[in-house]
Amino acid sequence: MPDLIWIVVADGENCRFLASAKRNADPVSAMPDMKVENPPTREQVSDKQGRNFESTGTRRSAYEPPTDPHRQGKRDFAKKIADILLEKARARAFDKLILVAPPTMLGDLRAELSGEALDRLIGEVNKDYTRFTPREIKEALSDQFKV
């Protein structure tokens, strides 16, 4: 029986899990797509930043939040995807894994992946294919990964 390859196509707000077992067949959905709402930072924070006093003197400066809420939302989404891949890897739901995501999301995913998922990782593509159909995704990956 041929290996079952999972193709995970993600950006900061969408994720598709596709499965492909046959070289000439279109990949099918391995599980429901994921989508999160992650509005831009300007919609998540107040208009004017708070101000604070210096520890000495009377100078004041703008308070900068420690992280950008929009960027943190993307990291949290990558963590959710990695948690699902860990669960599915432990359940032996796939034999091989291909990640397809824009460079920043790909880095976030790679940082969160468990050892079990990394062991099955056969390739990465740093492009945004979230708007592609399963057939278009397979065609784009077929020469590089034999899917």
In a domain, 42, yes or no: no
Task: Give domain status of residue 68, yes or no.
Answer: yes
pLDDT digits (tens, 9 = 90+) for 76-124: 999 999 999 999 999 999 999 999 999 999 999 999 999 999 999 999 9
Band (pLDDT 50/70/90 cuts) for residue 69 is confident
- Residue 54 belongs to some domain of the structure: no
Is 28 within the bounds of a domain? yes
pLDDT value for 82: 97
Residue 23's domain comprises 5-37+64-145
The answer to whether position 11 is within a domain reads yes
Number of domains in the chain: 1
CATH number of 86's domain: 3.30.420.60
pLDDT tens-digit map of 16-67: 999 988 766 778 888 888 888 766 766 666 555 565 556 666 666 655 656 7
Q: 85: part of which helix (H) or strand (E)?
A: helix 69-90
